[in-house]
Structure 1
Amino acid sequence: MANDAKKIRFAPNGNLFMAPAPGTSGATTVLPTDVGDGKAAPAGYRGMGYVDEGGVTITPSIETQPVNVWQSAVPVLYNVQAAAFQVKATLVEFNQLTTELFFGAKWVAVKDDKNQDTGTYRLDLSSTPELSELSLVVDWAQKGVLYRVVIPRAMVSDRGAITLQRAEAGKFELTIDALDSDGTLGYVLTNDDILGLGVNPPVSVPDTGTDTGTGSNPGTGTGTETGTETV
């Protein structure tokens, strides 16, 4: 296959979305099966806000063990020891989702002695925290080419330190690992023509032309038509 520079991909736009993992208590999450539009959250998911300029790191990994035999100086087989699918991102918005993920606890409204809201919210850090499952979607796009990674079940496996400074925004560094979901770690959706079937994603391009009409009752008008054509 010949080299094709048009197949080089960047990710200038993207989003992270989360929802309760399907099967968890009270969850009604339905996993997305379409690639989306590169902007809107999948049904039932919520956006996690801005990510710092380092973007999102996605790492699939397979750990193997060589099978060595007497008759050969090199392995004759590799056996799978473990598999993982990991997403790392540094979130920069202080909102409910990011702070609850980072601290591993839920916010509650503080009430006064008359059970009225005080405008203060409290998040208790347990000495024996419970890990919660989530479903994660990572979207990215370059013009009309869209990609979406869906992880049905995942947990936050690591957190970086948050640094509070005068001249730099606070950031929440999170590592999220996929969990087994009926034999899968997740799946990838795209409208990119990966299989070379000739079905390309729609791209809006400007269309400028001059339309001069001649009919049975001709006139002398000339008009210019400008619009957007989807090809």
Structure 2
Amino acid sequence: MPTGDAGKIRFAPSGMLYIAPAGGSLVLPDEVGDGDAAPTGYKALGYVSEEGVTLTPTIQTTPLNAWQSAAPVLYNVDSAAFQIQATLLEASKLVTETFFGTTWEEVMEDVSGTPTATGTYRLNLSSLPELVEFSLVVDWKQKNSLWRTVIARSMVSERGAITLQRTQSKQFQLTIDAMDLDGSLGYVLTNDDMGD
């Protein structure tokens, strides 16, 4: 009788999300890393809410039925997707620019004909926003078990509402969708023994 292996059960008590501009000279990581340092060229998005990060691979199929069978005889793939969801907690430059899809600019004023910084920053929200493409890495670990998901091309597909409250911090809820790169949505790396 087959038995389970409790030693193969994994949790994700800690981890981090990292982003970098997609394409260009960016080299995608091909190692699982050490579970602490950002991959070369990537920046950390900081604290995530206690709900953690959700990774959702999806395949949509259409069944092919035949006269000779009451059950489908074949399934055809209509679409494939890989989605990452997380609620970020830090109101940093990187997080807010990722959330709003635009960049901060320092407001300048003219002082005796010389542009002078005011110490105020402005985020312009366009009625025709340009979608920003980036590469995403999700790291997580449990003791010596390290895991890394690498997405070469991705984009924010959905943003949650920001609630302003006296007793709760601002939260930046993001849904990020992987995009195709030469037939790939991304890949997963681990140092866990997958030989069994």
Q: Tell me, yes or no, whether TM beats 0.5.
A: yes
Among all aligned residue pairs of Structure 1 and Structure 2, give the percentage whose two residues are the same amino acid: 62
Is 2:32 the partner of 1:54? no
Secondary structure, aligned partner of 2:181: coil
Question: How far off its partner does 1:28 sit?
Answer: 2.3
CA distance in 2, matches of 1:110, 1:149: 38
CA distance in 1, matches of 2:21, 2:30: 17
Q: Between 176-185 and 111-120, report the one with greater CA deviation.
A: 111-120
Deviations 1:134-157 (A, max 9, x none): 000000000011000000000000
Quick one: which amino acid aligns to residue 44 of structure 1? G
Deviations 1:94-120 (A, max 9, x none): 011111111111111111112222111
Quick one: which amino acid aligns to residue 190 of structure 2? T
Question: How far off its partner does 1:2 sit?
Answer: 3.6
Is 2:191 the partner of 1:191? yes
Q: Which residue of 2 aligns with 1:209?
A: none
Secondary structure, aligned partner of 2:146: strand
Number of equivalenced pairs: 192
CA distance in 2, matches of 1:84, 1:195: 27
Quick one: which amino acid aligns to residue 175 of structure 1? T
Is 2:25 the partner of 1:28? yes
Choose between structure 1 and 2 for higher RCO, CA contacts under 8 A separated by at least 6 residues: 2
CA distance in 2, matches of 1:29, 1:164: 36
1:93 to 90, 103, 114: 90
CA distance in 2, matches of 1:123, 1:97: 12
Is 2:139 the partner of 1:139? yes
Quick one: which amino acid aligns to residue 157 of structure 1? S
Q: Which residue of 2 aligns with 1:215?
A: none
CA distance in 2, matches of 1:186, 1:57: 15
Secondary structure, aligned partner of 2:4: coil
Is 2:68 the partner of 1:67? no
Q: TM (normalized to structure 2)? A: 0.96
Q: Which residue of 2 aligns with 1:214?
A: none
Question: How far off its partner does 1:163 sit?
Answer: 0.2
CA distance in 1, matches of 2:116, 2:66: 73
CA RMSD of aligned residues (A): 0.9
Secondary structure, aligned partner of 2:115: coil
Higher alpha-carbon Rg? 1
Deviations 1:47-95 (A, max 9, x none): 0010000000000010000001122111100000000000000000001
CA distance in 1, matches of 2:66, 2:6: 44
Q: TM (normalized to structure 1)? A: 0.81
Secondary structure, aligned partner of 2:140: strand
**After TM superposition, where is structure 1 displaced by more than 4 Å over at least 4 residues in a row?**
none
Counting only pairs closer than 5 Å after superposition, residues 98-177 of structure 1 correspond to structure 2 as: 98-113=95-110, 114-177=114-177
